[in-house]
A and B are shown apart, each in its own frame.
Chain A
Amino acid sequence: MRECLITTKGLSREEIVEVLDHAEEIEKNPTAHYGSQSGKIIGLLFYEPSTRTRMSFEAAIKRLGGDSISMGPVENSSVAKGETLADTVRVVAGYVDAIVLRHPKEGAAKMASGFIDVPLINAGDGAGQHPTQTLLDLYTIRKSAKLDGLNIGVMGDLKYGRTVHSLAHAITKFDSQLNFISPKGLQLPDNVKYDLEKSGTEIYEYTELDDILSTLDILYVTRIQRERFPDEEEYRKVSGQYRINKKTLENAPKHLKIMHPLPRMEEISPEIDETKHAIYIEQAHNGVAVRMALLDLMLKS
């Protein structure tokens, strides 16, 4: 496994499969891995709020027998006094065996990794990437189907959605088709589209879910945020068109699986939770096994 995990762009299919296989092994026999990283400490630097990612990293390192230390809320830290990220990571790198970083600016993880010698994991950089989310997404997809030969739909805010960018790059390493469904103005950024096309992936873009729904195996839903719109009315109008309920799914294939990186707001109606389509809670649970696998592989080397 590589030293740092910054984006999924540079990950090979083999590296992805290595993590997924290890996660599967851990899930099958968790106690066998308890204690495998005892004595190791990871540093959690979260410059943006996070519940799931942070907690699942904490759970993962603790299950491996290690521990975590964290910066706490930004307001109470040296960051509030104006310390640069470069200085903070350099100092923290001396306390820990690996750093997990979430930061509101694109490229923060890449920059930080250049200043330190310990492994760094990008847990989200602005609208950039969120590669560990992608690994657990892929793990979830593989568990419910396979990774090749699928028709995958990704819907919502594709412009600012870092989970979408990471997922899209990763899917190009497999033989599945990507369909993007979003309002105009929230489509994939040109540079992401360029990279996907360059990797030989054909991109299909839609504004209406109905135009593609009946052919999908997986529908990955993301949140459309209020801040992306000039006014409340426009936001309500647009976001309302990208909501999933039982009625929306009338023409959906029976085997369709619906995913969401969570937290969800109103994108997926609670009435879907009970259906066979819903796998987003299981998806979130997979975060621990996948992050255990990743940490185990990274801390070993």
Chain B
Amino acid sequence: MTDKELHISKIENGTVIDHIKAGQCLNVLALLGIDGSDEESVSVVMNFSSSTVGSKDIVKIQNRELNQDELDVLSLISPNVTINIISNYEVSLKHRVQRPEYVVGVLNCPNRNCITNAKEPIESKFNVKDEVISCEYCGTHIEDVTQHLS
């Protein structure tokens, strides 16, 4: 870790989402449901110049771990992010996200007449294998996942 990166904020336990595609950190926060209304302490670095990836965003969250669904959608917004789990001020675990074949329950189908928007006991399911993201039930495409987070 360089001194340059250190000056941001050190957290004791939590998650650092690194290498976020520049400009996407607000969408990452939206995805995680972070809007400042909770007690979570969050720091955000926008357009940090990094020697390896050019410009990037970073999000650091105290006392929060991400679940698999959140990681899956993260992969759609910014495929190259690195998740660093911080324990006792140190990076204890580091992993990359993988684009899944499907995302379940995280996105809402924009088609109001889709069965997933009716009162039925099912979760939404989107096929993300191809370059487009399409509803498994009605086929409707989603252009911008950040507009359809449930």
Contacts and interface: CB of A to CB of B under 8 A. Distances in A.
Interface in B100-150: 111, 113-116, 118-122, 130, 132, 134-141
Nearest to B109: A107
Nearest to A7: B139
Give the bracket for the number of chain B residues in contact with chain A. Answer: 20 to 34
A195 B139 CA distance: 10
Given A84-B121, A190-B141, A191-B140, A106 B132 contact: no
A191 B114 contact: no
Contacts of A125: 115
Contacts of B139: 106, 128, 189, 191-192, 195
Contacts of A114: 122
Interface string A179-204: 00000000001111011001000000
A191 B141 contact: yes
Most A C-beta atoms less than 10 A away, residue of B132, B135, B137: B137
Interface residues of A, number: 23
B121 A105 contact: no
A86 interface: yes
Given A105-B113, A106-B113, A127-B113, A111 B141 contact: no
A108 interface: yes
B137 A106 contact: yes
Nearest to A84: B120
A191 B114 CA distance: 14
Nearest to A87: B121
Nearest to A190: B141
A116 interface: no
A111 B132 contact: no
Contacts of A103: 115
B113 to A, nearest CB: 5
Contacts of A126: 113, 138
A105 B118 contact: yes
Contact of A111 (B115, B119, B134): B115
A81 to B, nearest CB: 13
Contacts of B120: 84-86, 111
Interface string A80-97: 000011100000000000
B121 to A, nearest CB: 5
Interface in A50-108: 84-86, 103-108
A110 interface: yes
Contacts of A86: 120-122
Contacts of B122: 86, 111, 114
8 contacts: A85-B115, A105-B113, A106-B137, A106-B138, A107-B116, A111-B122, A127-B113, A194-B132
Interface of B: 111, 113-116, 118-122, 130, 132, 134-141
Given A85-B120, A114-B122, 16 more contacts: A84-B121, A85-B115, A86-B120, A86-B121, A105-B115, A106-B111, A106-B137, A107-B137, A108-B115, A111-B137, A126-B138, A128-B138, A189-B139, A191-B139, A191-B141, A198-B130
